[in-house]
Amino acid sequence: MTVTDERFAKMQPFGAGPGEGPISARDVPPGPRWPTLLQSIALVRFRHQFIPAMFKKYGDVFTVRVMPRGSALVLFTRPEHAKEIFAGDPETFHAGKGNAILGPIMGQHSLLLQDGREHKRARKLLMPAFNGAALRGYESLVTEIAEREVSAWTPDRPFRSLDRMNALTLEVILRVVFGVTDESRLAQLRPLVNRTVDISPAVLLGWGYPFLQRFGPWKATVANQRALDQVMYAEIAERRTASDLADRTDVLSRLLVVEDEGGLTDEELRDQLVTLLLAGHETTATALAWSLYELGRDAGQLATAQAAARDDDREYLEAVLKESMRLHPVIPMVVRHLMEPATIGGIDLPRGVNIGPSILISHAREENHRQPERFRPRRFLDGEVATNTWIPFGGGVRRCIGAGFSLMEGVAVLREVLLRWDVTLPPRGHDFPRVRNITSVPRHGARIVVRRAGSPA
């Protein structure tokens, strides 16, 4: 059995811990009584309709049931509840188990999947690659890649901004993770990473049934993972022999010089690097595509953002990104698995339940954001956005490790676009969210049309 096969064999979706039995409806807040399969499909495939409908029907807190064992997932929508969850003791509020569905792809050592002591260690090892000094070091690389991408755009021809942003952010994350390396290896990696991100909700739901791995899309996913692993392990083996490790600033080289407890094994390295490649690529691309879409549909907003780009007003450009992430959350919720009974918002919850703040509802509640349906970046500069009402990156000890990176990258990319181009939407350019896998993306790819900045329409 290869390492890849073992990963798939060990799969525990929405991981129930040892000795955890089914949770009775009496022990959790109310929710729909539909069959689990139907609720899982609604949650994974139609969350943009399902979750708001459940919020409307049941109010602040409600429970949905997910496959394969009808596990309870209790969703909270108020900022004080999000605060309690984020501040929860990491030994009780396990995030790794809540993310178990990503196991076969990211691997058991992945920062996203670990809990307790292992999580703390991995976070400490990865953190230096994402602190302020490291981010400043990556900025010129991002600007260079963005400039190359954006200056190749063709005016007056509608295109899917999501596709271009995906290509750009993939290039950025490959360079940040691997640094300068063999171009042919990067060429091998691009399609393998893209296919991994492309994984469909049906494949994710099917993880609970290992026999499916012999068929169709499940089989193809395992084959793609094997190929990805091969390239990753080859790169790791080669890099271990490099003589300039101490001078290199890419994540792989930084992790290779770590001496903590004998350093990281090949498998640990592979898992963390794949996690960064996947978590750090499509998420930022989606936020950028929605930003371009929102600017493209409002000439006034575009003009303000272009003026900010010319003045190098990064704070305003960051507000544009933040407002796009508020209005169009890339990830719908944060999940924690309760290892012990806990009380949240005065509600007693049993061990074994999955809980989490709903990002979708937190960002759309009238009580949290005035005129929530309007795109208004200024709300982030006017001190209007209260703590725990804007939570696209989760929170607490598990807050997204790439949050600062993603905002730095987003601002640099927006600046390059806005300095060169006027952005509008093509006819029938309206877009809305579609569930891709874990993330939600613009259904039509956020199509835009560009013209040289300042040229007559």
The residues that touch ligand HEM, with contacts defined as CB under 6 A, are 95, 111-112, 123, 275-276, 279-280, 283-284, 287, 330-331, 334, 392-395, 398-402, 405-406
In the complex, the smallest distance separating the C-beta of residue 413 from ligand HEM, rounded to whole angstroms, is 12
In the complex, the smallest distance separating the C-beta of residue 209 from ligand HEM, rounded to whole angstroms, is 26
State which residue, 141 or 449, has the beta carbon closest to ligand HEM: 141
- Rounded to whole angstroms, the Cα distance separating 252 from 62 reads 42
State which residue, 64 or 334, has the beta carbon closest to ligand HEM: 334
- Separation in Å, CA 54 to CA 70, 77, 355: 17, 11, 15
CB-based burial of residue 88 (10 Å sphere; 0-12 exposed, 13-18 middle, 19+ buried)? buried
In the complex, the smallest distance separating the C-beta of residue 34 from ligand HEM, rounded to whole angstroms, is 26
Which tokens hold the place of 383? Answer: 């001190």
In the complex, the smallest distance separating the C-beta of residue 428 from ligand HEM, rounded to whole angstroms, is 27
In the complex, the smallest distance separating the C-beta of residue 151 from ligand HEM, rounded to whole angstroms, is 24
Q: 3-class secondary structure for 46-109?
A: CHHHHHHHHHHHHCCEEEEEECCCCEEEEEECCHHHHHHHHCCCCCCEEHHHHCHHHHHHHCCC
Number of H helices, E strands in the chain: 19, 12
Q: What does the DSSP assignment read for 259-322?
A: -GGG---HHHHHHHHHHHHHHTTHHHHHHHHHHHHHHHT-HHHHHHHHHHHHTT-HHHHHHHHH
State which residue, 394 or 442, has the beta carbon closest to ligand HEM: 394
In the complex, the smallest distance separating the C-beta of residue 63 from ligand HEM, rounded to whole angstroms, is 19
In the complex, the smallest distance separating the C-beta of residue 215 from ligand HEM, rounded to whole angstroms, is 31
State which residue, 79 or 280, has the beta carbon closest to ligand HEM: 280
Are 31 and 63 in contact, with CB atoms under 8 Å apart?
Answer: yes
State which residue, 296 or 332, has the beta carbon closest to ligand HEM: 332
State which residue, 50 or 130, has the beta carbon closest to ligand HEM: 130
- Rounded to whole angstroms, the Cα distance separating 61 from 118 reads 31
For residues 329, 332, 336, 337, the Cα torsion angle rounded to the nearest 10 degrees is: -170
Beta bridge partners of 333: 358
Minimal CA–CA distance to 279: which of 98, 86, 113, 66? 113
State which residue, 248 or 424, has the beta carbon closest to ligand HEM: 248
